[in-house]
């Protein structure tokens, strides 16, 4: 069942989303060579707890950490580790979720670690552009597939590929709700968008082919061809005035 939220509920979801955005901004400022993904995870957990919130991912189906930290060919769900050190030239996807006052926020960014190769820089730029092109389709009367079509069209124009195995989702009082939001497909299909619907829109894009596999840890998804992968995500509400990005970061992520 797809739930449409009241204005009061959306305000509470904005509180959760704002916190997620603030945590991502703080983490982005700490992304540099020599930092471990466990360092970033500890910072996120501390910051979320200080806000009186709860990490959305930790313990979810047994996931062991507060954030997902996925480096280079890792697509999503990379588990933070004190042995995983960031190196110059890496790219890292950081996915943060939090529950505050009974409502969830979910957002992700992919960042360069120092200077990166041109292909990596282009992948990050195009994937983030695809997210915002998808968000532009979040309007009452549209269709869920309009969102994925916008992503696919933009990504494939640059010769990159869209991951099929993982999709975006509805979000509210649970981390994952209906509907699923694929990042591909023909427009004009699927549920019709209505005021109060809230979606976690999250393009996952590979520099090479779209196929992925999950590693032996049961969580980390990587590209089968070892190509780079990028991931950007926002929690977005459908309103009469257009899309409302509930996880918008009021302080810009530092440009590197």
Taking only the tens place, the pLDDT of each residue in 215-249 is 999 999 999 999 999 999 999 999 999 999 999 99
Res 256: pLDDT: 32
Distances (CA, A) of 182 to 59, 134, 151: 25, 11, 9
High-pLDDT (> 70) share of the chain, %: 98
Res 250: pLDDT: 72
The alpha carbon of 68 is separated from its chain's Cα centroid by a whole number of angstroms, namely: 10
How does DSSP classify residue 91? E
Mean pLDDT, the chain, rounded, equals 96
Domain ranges across the chain: 7-243
Complete edge-to-edge strand list for the sheet that includes strand 234-239: 177-181, 168-170, 198-201, 234-239, 242-245
Res 254: pLDDT: 39
Distance, in Å, from the CA atom of 62 to the CA atom of 23, rounded to the nearest integer, reads 22
Residue 27 has pLDDT above 70, yes or no: yes
Alpha-carbon Rg for the chain, nearest whole angstrom, is 17
Question: Which positions ≥6 away from 100 have C-beta within 8 Å?
Answer: 12, 15, 16, 19, 51, 52, 53, 54
Answer yes or no: are the C-beta atoms of 192 and 147 closer than 8 Å: no
Distance, in Å, from the CA atom of 217 to the CA atom of 212, rounded to the nearest integer, reads 15
**Tokens describing residue 116:** 């990166």
Q: 46-52 long-range contacts, Cβ below 8 Å, gap at least 24?
A: 47/22, 47/23, 48/19, 48/23, 48/98, 51/19, 51/98, 51/100, 52/100
What's the average model confidence in pLDDT over 140-167?
98
Res 235: pLDDT: 98
Distance, in Å, from the CA atom of 199 to the CA atom of 245, rounded to the nearest integer, reads 10
Answer yes or no: are the C-beta atoms of 148 and 183 closer than 8 Å: yes
Res 252: pLDDT: 47
Residue 251 has pLDDT above 60, yes or no: no
Residue 124 has pLDDT above 80, yes or no: yes
- pLDDT tens per residue across span 56-78: 999 999 999 999 999 999 999 99
Which class for 238: exposed (0-12), middle (13-18), buried (19 or more C-beta within 10 A)?
Answer: buried
What kind of fold does domain 7-243 have according to CATH?
Creatine Amidinohydrolase (3.90.230)
What's the average model confidence in pLDDT over 154-168?
98
- pLDDT tens per residue across span 182-210: 999 999 999 999 999 999 999 999 999 99
Distance, in Å, from the CA atom of 238 to the CA atom of 169, rounded to the nearest integer, reads 14
């Amino acid at each position: 069942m797809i739930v449409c939220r009241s204005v009061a509920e959306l305000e509470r979801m904005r509180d959760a989303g704002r916190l997620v955005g603030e945590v991502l901004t703080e983490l982005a400022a700490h992304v540099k060579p020599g930092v471990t993904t466990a360092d970033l995870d500890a910072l996120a957990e501390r910051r979320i707890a200080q806000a009186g919130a709860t990490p959305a991912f930790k313990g979810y189906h047994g996931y062991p950490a507060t954030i997902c930290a996925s480096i280079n060919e890792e697509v999503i769900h990379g588990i933070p580790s004190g042995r995983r050190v960031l190196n110059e030239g890496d790219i890292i996807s950081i996915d943060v979720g939090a529950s505050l006052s009974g409502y969830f926020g979910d957002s992700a960014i992919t960042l360069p670690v120092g200077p990166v190769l041109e292909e990596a820089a282009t992948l990050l730029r195009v994937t983030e552009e695809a997210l915002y092109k998808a968000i532009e389709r979040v309007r009452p009367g549209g269709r869920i597939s309009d969102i994925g079509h916008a992503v696919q069209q933009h990504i494939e124009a640059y010769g990159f590929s869209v991951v099929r195995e993982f999709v975006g989702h509805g979000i509210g009082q649970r981390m994952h709700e209906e509907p699923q939001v694929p990042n591909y497909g023909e427009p004009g299909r699927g549920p019709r968008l209505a005021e109060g619907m809230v979606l976690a829109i999250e393009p996952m894009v590979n520099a090479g082919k779209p196929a992925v596999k999950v590693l032996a840890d049961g969580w980390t998804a990587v590209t089968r061809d070892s190509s780079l992968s990028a991931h950007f995500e926002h929690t977005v509400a459908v309103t009469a005035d257009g899309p409302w990005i509930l996880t918008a970061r009021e302080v810009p992520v530092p440009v590197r």
